[in-house]
Structure 1
């Protein structure tokens, strides 16, 4: 899948993924990007790993319990 010189890191949680994984395809109008390791990263910070595991979004308002009324 990957054609750049250095090999892609293995897919894992965002904390485990080095910064060397880069975007190979993106659909900003749909809110997602595909990384060279096969991970799909969503604009809401959630992820779908190549093996089907889901990484939940990290939203500041979810951690604080505060959501401003629209």
Structure 2
């Protein structure tokens, strides 16, 4: 997916969130990274292969 240099970390890498932002929809609570990962504002993630990564914090903690 990544066409720029240096390449973004792949979706299965621990630092996958370091990939470049290519789409941002704060009104819907998500953004898309260059490596195909969808990150949600509650810190949950959806990987390109369909696996989900649970949120590391709850929306209540975010508002505090």
Band the TM-score falls in, shorter-chain normalisation: 0.7 to 0.9
Gapped regions of structure 1 (runs ≥ 5): 62-66
Q: CA RMSD in A?
A: 2.5
> What's the TM-score once normalised by structure 1's chain length?
0.71
After TM superposition, which residue ranges in structure 1, 4 or more long, deviate above 6 angstroms? none
Larger helix share, 1 or 2: 2
Change over 3 Å in CA distance of 1:21–1:28 after alignment to 2: same
Number of residue equivalences: 61
In structure 2, the gaps of 5 or more residues are: none
Q: TM-score with structure 2 length normalisation?
A: 0.77
Determine which structure has more spread, i.e. the larger CA radius of gyration: 1
